Amino acid sequence: MLPGRLLDDRFELAEVAGSGGMGTVYRALDRASGEVVAVKLLRRLDARAEARFLREAAALSRLSHPHIVRYVTHGVAPTGEPYLAMEWLSGESLADRLSRLELRVDESVALTRRVADALGAAHARGIVHRDIKPSNLFLVDGALDRVKLLDFGIALLSDATSRLTGTSAVVGTLGYMAPEQARGDREALDGRADVFALGCVLFECLTGQRAFRGQHLSVVWKLLLEDSPRARELRPEVPETLDALLTRMLAKDPSERPEDGAAVVRCVDALGALEGSSAPSALPPPAAISMRERRLASVVAVRSAQPSFSATTESLDAHAPPPGTLAAVRRAALTLGAQVVELGDGIVAAVAASAGSAADQAALAARCALQVRALLPGAAVALVTARGEPMRGSPFGEALDQAAALLDAAAAPARADGRREGVLVDAATRALLDARFEVVAEGGLARLVAEREIGEGARQLLGGPSPYVGRERELQQLLELVGDSFTERRAAAALVTAAAGMGKSRLRREAVDALLQRHPGVALSVARGDALGGGAALALLAGALRSALGIAPGEAPDAQRARLAQALGSLLAGEEGRWAAAFLGELLGLAPPDEAPAALEAARRDPARMAEEIQRAYVDYARAVTGARPMLVVLEDLHGGDAPSVGIFDRALRELGDRPYAVLAFARPEVHALFPQLWAERGLSELRLRELPARAAEQLVRSALGASLAPEEASALAQRAAGNAFCLEELIRAAAEGRRAPPEAALGLVEARIAALGPEARRLLRAASVFGEVCWAGGVRALLGAPAQGPSERAAWAELLDREILERRPSSRFPGEEELAFRGALLREAAYAMLTDRDRELGHKLAGEWLVEAGEQDPEVLAEHLARSRETGPRRPERSLGWSDRRGKGVA
C-alpha cells in the first residue's frame, strides 16, 4: 500500500517510517482521534507470520500502561493485509542509547523499575513477553523516564492463542533468554522468564557488557551451564544489595528469581535510594595471572530437527530436539564421561574435556559419535575438537559454534531410507584420529564412517605415504629378534615404548610388513588394548584370537563359530578339539551351537576354573599352530590391555619356550606402572623410542615439501617438532598450507605432558611461556605476583626440571637472574595456548614492565610485549614512559 492512501476509512498513511522482513510501518493520521499513529502493515502472509502479528495485536489490546506502547486498533485492509495501529513514538531505543552513552547506577535502576512495572501489568493478565532486550525498550524523545515496552509478537498468552507456535517451539533472542526458555520448556515458562531477561538488560546498563556474550550456541551453553556473572566484578560501585538482586534475577533456577514484574518492583523499592555515578570505574588490575587455563575439548553435536535460524542472526525460533534424542546421546556418552546438554535449534551436544591426551579424547569422542550415529540413523552428527576456557562450570562455546557450523555446512539430504552417512569431523579431530578410524573425504567435508579393531593403513602426508626414516636401527632389532625366534624355534617377546606421537604405530606396520615378506607362512594375530574403554577382562586375548581366525567386526555368530571350528579342526582332533572349541568360543562370547559340554557348564559356575580352562585352551591352540608354522602376536597400545590377557601371554611364552612363538608389544611408558613385572622372566627385550634424529626429521621435511626448501627452513621445522614424528607431520601440513600458527592437533599432543603436571607447575609454565622460549625466574615470579620464592614455587620449578619440560641455562642475559629455556618450541607454544585471554594480555604487560626494570635493550622485544598486552589496566607513569621511549627508538 502506498503513502497517501486511506486505510480502512480511518488512517491516512503518510511516509514510510520503517520496513522489515515481516512488513512496513507507516506514520499515519488517525481521523477518528486526530492523533498521529504508527500503522504496521503485514507484508508476509504465511501462517507463521500472521500468527505472530495477531498475537501482538491480541496482547496489546489487553494492556494499558504508561510504559507499554499504546494500542489503537487492528484489522484487515481491503487488500487482505492485516494491520496494527499503535501510538506514534519518536526517540531512540535503549540499545541505541547504550551504544553511545553509559547509564549511572541510579538511572539503570529507575529504568529497570519502570520496565518491571510494565511487565507486572502484563503478567497480571497472563501475558509473558519472551523477548525483553534493549532494542525492544524505546525511550520516547530520548528520556529514560518515558521508556516504552515494544514488540509483543512472540508473547505467550494464557488462552488458546498462546499455542499458535506449537508445543516444542523455542523462541526469543540469544543472550537474553532464560535457561528454561532456551531449553524449550514451555511448561516452566512464566513471568520469571521475563524477569531473567530484564536482569540481562540491567546487567548491560550497569556494566556496558552483555551478561552472556559469545556466538550463537556458545551463548546457550553459557546460559545453561555457567554461573551468572556479577556486576560488581566489572563495576565496583554497584551496591551489594543491587548486585544481590541482580544475581537473583539471573538465577538458573526460576524458583530463585522474583516471581514476576511486580515482585521486581517491590525488590527495587526495598533497595532505597542509590547514589548516582557519572561513569563506571574499572576494577584494579589483577596483580598476577590466574589458575585458569584453556584446554582442548572434543564435542559431539547431534541435530535431529531441521535448523531454523542462521549464523547471521541472534534471534532463535527453532524446535527442540525430538523425543529420544537426549536419551540416545546420554547413552552413547556414558563411557565418554561427557557433559550432555540440550541446546537450541534442535541440537544436543556432549562435551568431553578429559585429562588424558587430545588423541585419546578425540578417539573416545569418535567412538561416542559412531554410537550416536547407530542409535539415531536419521540425525546429522558432527565431531569437532577446539580449545576453550573452563570457566564457571563449563567452557567450550567455541567448539559448539564450530560443531553447529559443520552441521549447517552439511545440510545434504539424507538417503532415500532416511539414513545419513557417517559423522562430520573437523580438521583438528581428523588429524588426531589414528588409522583405526576410517575417515573419508566427500565434497570438501570429512566424514568418520567406522572404527576398525586396528589400523590397517598408514597416515597419509600431503596425499601420499611418507618415507620411513630415523628408525632403521629399531626396525632391524625387531626383525632380528623375531627372525631368531622363528629360525631357532624359541619363544621371544619384545616391548616398544614411547610417548604418544613418537612413531610406535609406524614402526609396528613396517616391522609386520617386513616379517610377512621374510616369513610368508607366519600365523599373524593383531590386537589393540582399549585404553579408552578401560580394558575389559580377556578383551586383548579375544581380539588376538579373532584376528588369527579372520573374524571381522560385526560378523554373525554362526559365521564366527564356523571359522573357529575350521581352524581347530585342522589343528586339534577329537575330544581335545571339541573341548578347545567350547572354551575358546566362550572367550569370544559364542554360545555352543548345541548343548554346552558338562566341563563348560561347571566352569561357568566357577570363575577361577573358567579362567584356567581358557588359558589352557589358548596355549593348546598356540602349541598346535606353532607345531606347523611360526606364530606372531602383535599387541598395540598394551597400556590399555587387561591383566588376565597379559598373564595368559606370559603363560604361553613360558610353556611354548621351544616353539617359534613371538610377541611384539607397543605401549606408552606408563605400561610399566600398570604391569610392573611385565614378562620379566621371559627374557623381554625393550626398545625405548627416543626423539626422531634431527637429520631424519630434516629428511622427512625435504621429502614432503620439496628439495628446494632452504636448509635453514627445514632445520627450523625439525627443531620445532622436538623429535615427535606426529608433530612434525602436522607442522609439515601447516607449512604446506602457508599456516604459521602451530596446528591444534600438535599442540594437543604436547598438552598431554603439561596436563600431567600439578596445578602450580602448570601456572608457572604458562607464565614462563609469555617470555618466549627463554625465561627468567625473577620475571616469572613477577607474573605470579610473588615477591620471593616460596615452597610451592620451588616445588613447581623442580617438577618442571625433573620432567624435562624446562632446562637451566649456564649463563643469563640479565646478571643475577636465573635463565631457563623450554626443551622444545612446541612445549612453549602449547603452554602459551593454554593461557586465558585475560592472563595473556596481563602477562605481556607484567613481562614488559619486568624487562624494562631488568635492563632489556631490544626495542622490538618491548614493543611486542606492549602490543600483545593491549594496554591491560593502568600502568605506572614511569613504566609507561620507559616502554614508549624504547618503542619509539626502535621504530626510528
DSSP conformational letter for 288: S
Q: Is the pTM of this model over 0.85?
A: no
pLDDT at 309: 41
Check whether 307 has a pLDDT greater than 50: no
pLDDT band at 308 (very low <50, low <70, confident <90, very high): very low
Q: What are the pLDDT digits (tens) for 667-719? A: 999 999 999 999 999 999 999 999 999 999 999 998 888 877 888 888 988 88
Alpha helices in 499-552 (DSSP H): 504-518, 539-549
131 catalytic, yes or no? Answer: yes
d(CA 242, CA 230): 10
- State the pLDDT at residue 165: 46
User: What is residue 65's predicted lDDT score, i.e. its pLDDT?
Assistant: 97
Q: With the C-alpha atoms ordered 763, 767, 770, 772, is the resulting torsion angle positive or negative?
A: negative
pLDDT at 738: 80
pLDDT at 442 over 80: no
Residue 533 cell numbers, joined: 574403554
pLDDT (tens digit per residue) in 651-667: 999 999 999 999 999 99
Least confident of 213-222, 243-252, 744-753, 795-804: 213-222
Range of lowest pLDDT (563-567, 752-756, 859-863): 752-756
Are 84 and 11 contacting, i.e. CB atoms less than 8 angstroms apart? no
Q: Which of 117, 131, 426, 642 is catalytic?
A: 131
> Dihedral (C-alpha) 849, 852, 855, 859: value to the nearest 10 degrees?
130
Q: Alpha-carbon distance 310 to 321, whole Å?
A: 17
The end-to-end CA distance of the chain, in Å, is 65
Q: At the fourth CATH level, which superfamily is domain 96-271?
A: Transferase(Phosphotransferase) domain 1 (1.10.510.10)
Task: List beta partners, residue 450.
Answer: 438
Provide the CATH topology of domain 464-687: Rossmann fold (3.40.50)
Quote the CATH superfamily of domain 6-87: Phosphorylase Kinase; domain 1 (3.30.200.20)
pLDDT category of residue 166 using cuts at 50, 70 and 90: very low
pLDDT in tens, 685-694: 999 999 999 9
Whether the CB-CB separation of 669 and 689 falls below 8 Å is answered with: no
Residue 155 cell numbers, joined: 508473547
Q: Please report the pLDDT score of residue 536 as a whole number.
A: 78
The predicted-structure confidence for 218-273, as pLDDT tens digits, reads as follows 666 667 766 678 888 888 889 999 999 999 999 999 999 999 999 999 999 999 87
The 8-class DSSP code of residue 668 comes to -
Give the three cell numbers for residue 760.
602450580
pLDDT at 219: 67
The reported pLDDT for the residue numbered 86 is: 96
DSSP 410: T
Q: Quick check: 280 pLDDT over 50?
A: no
Report the mean per-residue pLDDT for the chain: 85
Neighbours of 601 (CB within 10 A): 11
Domain boundaries, the chain: 6-87, 96-271, 299-307+315-451, 464-687, 694-748, 751-891
> With b meaning 16 or more CB within 10 Å and e meaning fewer, what string describes 403-438?
bbbbbbebeeeeeeeeebebbbbbebbbbbbbbbbb
Q: In this prediction, what percent of the chain has a pLDDT beyond 90?
A: 50
Determine the 3-state secondary structure of 852 from DSSP: helix
Q: Reply yes or no on whether the pLDDT at 841 is more than 50.
A: yes
Mean pLDDT of 143-149: 96
Number of neighbouring beta carbons within 10 Å of residue 278: 7
Most confident of 321-325, 375-379, 413-417, 581-585: 581-585
CB-based contact 595:578 (threshold 8 Å):
no
251-260, 471-480, 532-541, 843-852: the lowest-pLDDT one: 532-541
Q: At 355, is the pLDDT very low, low, confident or very high (cuts 50, 70, 90)?
A: low
**Residue 654 to residues 381, 485, 635, 648, 682, Cα–Cα distance (Å):** 48, 14, 18, 10, 7
Q: Residue 888: its pLDDT value, please?
A: 35
Q: Which whole number is the average pLDDT over 61-75?
A: 95
Closest listed residue to residue 107, CA positions, set 18, 8, 238 = 238
Q: Cα–Cα distance between 598 and 420 in angstroms, integer? A: 48
Segment 731-752 mean pLDDT: 83
DSSP string, 41-60: EE---SHHHHHHHHHHHHHH
Helices (H), 675-758: 694-705, 711-721, 725-736, 744-755
Cβ-proximal residues to 284 (8 Å cutoff; 6+ apart), any chain: 873
Instruction: Provide the pairing of β-strand 347-352 with 339-342.
Output: antiparallel
Q: How far apart are the C-alpha atoms of 591 and 110, rounded to whole Å?
A: 76
Phi, psi (rounded to 5 degrees) for 481: -60, -50
- Residue 879, pLDDT > 80, answer no
Model confidence at 877: pLDDT above 70: no
Tens digits of residue pLDDT in 393-406: 444 667 777 887 88
Specify the CATH number for 751-891; select among 1.25.40, 1.10.3470, 3.30.70, 1.10.10: 1.10.10
Report the pLDDT value the prediction gives residue 161, as an integer from 0 to 100. 44
With cut-offs at 50, 70 and 90, classify the pLDDT of residue 527. very high
Q: What torsion, rounded to 10 degrees, do the Cα atoms 815, 820, 825, 829 define?
A: -100
For the cut 80, the answer to whether the pLDDT of residue 637 exceeds it is yes
Question: pLDDT value at position 170?
Answer: 60
Q: Considering the domain 299-307+315-451, what is its CATH architecture?
A: 2-Layer Sandwich (3.30)
Tens-digit pLDDT profile for residues 453-473: 665 556 677 777 788 889 999
- Confidence (pLDDT) at 3: 63
Contact 620, 576 (CB under 8 A): yes
